[in-house]
Chain A
């Protein structure tokens, strides 16, 4: 909607969630890592092989976090990367 009813003349872009439809959102979160040199060879090391991701769906009625925002949904996901895979 934008900046105030007195200067809005129409919807130019619709970003709301449409009724009776499922919207998919994907988030890519890199694990923390560092590039190191071991035995004269460049490699990468994971700083942490676990991620705790807090997923929140916020309703932000006035476009900013100013006290009227509401959490519609909240969930926590634990991800891990405990494999024997070696960086090359």
Chain B
């Protein structure tokens, strides 16, 4: 019995050591910067244009993805945010929103938690400015004012999930173990120096190449941490409970970045490559005379059998 306990303790010690060895290169929680007061300030704070000189190909890939215009969307996301405000928030008795001037960052979080997580670093004025910009864009389009619509669309598109969001702000998930992302460090799969004035250091983020990293936004369903949880993306939930449970072992990055060859142009249904990778479809057909019943008699019938096999790591569709 004593021997068994000793073995148990020794295994525990090994596990603890391994966990300790997995710590990333985060650090203490950085002092909070003053909140951005305008869209322009927020965009400037998360400006990733400095990355382009050395990472042009990656930037071009990213620019083709929805991450590069995560608030504008296809462009259905921006109008849906307005619908959520007009039909949802303004009609909820306890939301505190009766007018656009009542909107705060917290109110938009049901959308921006994923579509613009950096909005947490902005004042409520920025939340209201975003809403006003989207409404202005919708009106300009309706009025046929193309120049104005284009200008406002560019502003909306400047609010996005760029290098700074994934490779810094959201890079480290377990901050108590791995540390908080540091303001001078770009996170990826390498440690060392980084030729950039603002980000002179590189460090490994332990989960950046794992599905859980994407799961921060492409999540597990309702966002219960919010005052008004919303049934949102269930992709990571599906990955965990339907895909890995069936023996699946590839990561989001394996399929969407590596096997697809798309790199940072992360795509889903709009990409022919992803569509082909995701499904196997077999179609078989035959004909017969079907004696249906006494009233309708014999019916000449074509039968088409379709077999659909979802090879993706999640349900289709999902988000």
- Interface flags, B252-286, vs A, CB<8A=1, else 0: 00000000000000000110000100110101111
Question: Once the chains bind, are B285 and A17 in contact (CB under 8 Å)?
Answer: no
Pair A27/B306 contact, Cβ less than 8 Å: yes
Whether the pair A81, B306 counts as a contact (CB closer than 8 A) is no
What count of chain A residues pass the 8 Å CB interface test?
Answer: 49
Contact with B along A42-55 (1 / 0, CB 8 A): 00101000010101
Is there an interface contact between A9 and B229, defined as CB atoms closer than 8 Å? yes
**Which of A8, A18, A31, A51 touches B315 (beta carbons < 8 Å)?**
A18
Query: B309 contacts A21, CB within 8 Å?
Result: yes
CB distance from A28 to the nearest CB of B (A): 6
Interface of B, secondary structure class, is: mixed
Q: Which residues of B contact A4 (CB under 8 A)?
A: 80, 83-84, 87-88
On chain B, the residues within 8 Å of A9 by CB distance are: 222, 229, 231
Q: How many A-B residue pairs have CB under 8 A?
A: 165
**Measuring CB to CB, which residues of chain B are less than 8 angstroms from any residue of chain A?**
74, 76, 80, 83-84, 87-89, 110-111, 221-222, 228-232, 234, 238-239, 242-243, 246-248, 269-270, 275, 278-279, 281, 283-287, 289-290, 297-318
A62: which B residues are within 8 A, CB to CB? 76
Asked if A19 meets B238 with Cβ closer than 8 Å, knowing A11-B221, A81-B300, the reply is yes
Q: B300 touches which one: A26, A31, A57, A88 (CB < 8 A)? A: A31
Q: Which residues of A contact B314 (CB under 8 A)?
A: 19
* Known pairs A19-B238, A30-B299, A87-B298; A55 contacts B304 (CB<8 A): yes
